[in-house]
Structure 1
Amino acid sequence: MNARDRTPADLLRSALAADPARPLITYYDDATGERVELSVATFANWVAKTANLIQDHLSAEPGERIALLLPAHWQTAVWLVACSSVGVVAELDGDPAAADHVVAGAGRLDDGLACSGERLALSLAPLGRRFTTPPDGYQDYAVEVPTHGDRFTPYVPVDPDSPALVVGGTELTGAALVERAREEAGRLGLTAGSRLLSELPYDSWAGVAAGLYAPLAAGASVVLCRNSDQLAPGSMEKRVESERITGRAV
């Protein structure tokens, strides 16, 4: 963590400089048995490709709004930091009819059709697989994102005092988001090397803070668990031990 960081993209750059090989997000979907672990470097690569897609493929400009109709998922985390890298506003569960663009996961595709701008669909299948057939009215993110570059530079410098995130009805600037992430990291007892397990959805500040921003700000990592209610008795305790969990957000 660098005291000069004022946007989520700054936090990621500092994490890369400190230790690119350390785990940042470990994702479990207990409905499918999926486990994906992303190091800081791998996460940053996904963010760069996605930010280039936002800037060049969607032609999104700073201040435009992207409705993210997505659950707590490692690809949602990628989109959140990619949006802030470009300077567009990420609206979690935002109104697609009022957004400039929409990114929808399987299960929210009908909702996203209300957006008159560009629409991207995520299968949310293990390993980010493509749809067998692209959904009507959408481009498949998994098809589009690999063609974009591994390095990203915004055409316009991002203003930390401009809106960056809308979640649970609250709008935050990049600078406010970073400050609140640091505060939340302190509240959760996170320090460099901590391993936080989060079962919280991305529908509130508490959920996205525990599931992404606070660990990123603290130099910690998150084990993000979705559909954990489908685990067999005793399985979560084994996960806590095997993943060397130091704290939980449930």
Structure 2
Amino acid sequence: MNAAPRTPAALLNAALVADPGRPLVTFYDDSTGERVELSVATFANWVAKTANLLQGDLGAEPGDRLALLLPAHWQTAVWLLACSSVGVVADVGGDPAAADLVVSGPDSLDEARACSGERVALALRPLGGRFPQTPEGFVDYAVEVPGQGDRFAPFSPVDPDALALVTSGAGRTGAEVVEKAAADAVELGLTGPGSRLLSGLGYGSWHGLSAGLYAPLATGGSVVLCPRLDALDQGTLDKRIEAERVTATVH
């Protein structure tokens, strides 16, 4: 019998074995009209490519700290699982000056330049588009990731009891992330496979990260990530809930 998953990356691997074709992350940007839906298999492929970029091209090692300066977005979710795959500590909103490397969105590039290590920039454009011109001092994620391998194997086994995630200054090991996410799933009304959570929360807190990624992953469910949910009128919200077959909502 296989051991229960004890890291977020192991949760993703288990989901890939169980049902690779089911939706995992659906992302809406209501400012642009963008909707992206990633199955478990597609999401896992993005994670593998990103983990290969992180471990190979960027030279990241287990225990390195990555300042993750990205909003709630499907690409942010990919980076979180890539960090777990390599054993890198994802410090969400962390201080770039204290990090070994930084991953930044277009609105935090100046802040990210405080990092003396490798710097990666994401344009966060529809369809994962690249910057018209790569920001100085950064590599463009959208340029670098497509050529990465579709399968990933860490150089060193990831320790589930090592620090894996930092949010609002509080750290959790991989095992603690999995355990807390499973407990949160119950509170969020995720009852198991087929559960579909609509989340309007940002990724700046554990609550937002759990609802927007970890709890659905831990329970075999999926998330509909809508960071601008509060801007929708009730009629539009009701239609989205119906169209996306949402079973629980948090915002």
Q: Cα offset for 1:232?
A: 4.6
Q: Percent identity?
A: 66
Q: Which residue of 1 is the match for residue 137 of structure 2?
A: 137
Q: Which residue of 2 is the match for residue 236 of structure 1?
A: 237
TM-score by length of structure 2 reads: 0.97
Q: Which runs of 5+ in 2 are unaligned?
A: none
Q: SS of 2:226's equivalent? A: strand
Decide whether the 8 Å contact of 1:29 with 1:228 is kept in 2: no
Q: Cα offset for 1:231?
A: 3.0
Moved more, 45-54 or 219-228: 219-228
1:96-111 maps to which residues of 2 (within 5 A)?
96-111=96-111
In 2: Cα distance, 1:212 partner to 1:9 partner: 12
In 1: Cα distance, 2:31 partner to 2:227 partner: 8
In 1: Cα distance, 2:245 partner to 2:12 partner: 23
Aligned AA (2:243): S
Aligned AA (1:214): A
Q: SS of 1:37's equivalent? A: strand
Decide whether the 8 Å contact of 1:31 with 1:230 is kept in 2: no
Aligned AA (1:16): L
In 2: Cα distance, 1:67 partner to 1:185 partner: 26
1:1-250 maps to which residues of 2 (within 5 A)?
4-190=4-190, 191-250=192-251
| Displaced runs of 4 or more, over 6 A | none
Q: Cα offset for 1:234?
A: 1.7
Q: SS of 1:116's equivalent? A: coil
TM-score by length of structure 1 reads: 0.98
Classify 1:3/1:193 alpha carbon distance in 2 versus 1 (closer, same or farther; 3 Å).
farther
Decide whether the 8 Å contact of 2:11 with 2:217 is kept in 1: yes
Cα RMSD (Å): 1.0
In 1: Cα distance, 2:239 partner to 2:23 partner: 19
In 2: Cα distance, 1:188 partner to 1:160 partner: 25
Aligned AA (1:204): S
Decide whether the 8 Å contact of 2:200 with 2:230 is kept in 1: no
Moved more, 232-241 or 172-181: 232-241
Q: Cα offset for 1:189?
A: 2.0
Decide whether the 8 Å contact of 1:52 with 1:152 is kept in 2: yes
Q: Cα offset for 1:233?
A: 5.0
**Alignment coverage as a number of residue pairs:** 249
Decide whether the 8 Å contact of 1:97 with 1:114 is kept in 2: yes
Residues 62-109 of structure 1: CA deviation (Å, up to 9, x unaligned)? 000000000000000000000010000001000000000000001111
Decide whether the 8 Å contact of 1:51 with 1:152 is kept in 2: yes
Q: Cα offset for 1:3?
A: 6.2
Aligned AA (1:138): F
In 1: Cα distance, 2:138 partner to 2:232 partner: 33
Decide whether the 8 Å contact of 1:89 with 1:166 is kept in 2: yes
Q: SS of 1:234's equivalent? A: helix
Aligned AA (1:87): G
Residues 157-204 of structure 1: CA deviation (Å, up to 9, x unaligned)? 000000000012210000011000110111112111101000000011
Aligned AA (1:231): L
Q: SS of 2:80's equivalent? A: helix
Aligned AA (1:33): G
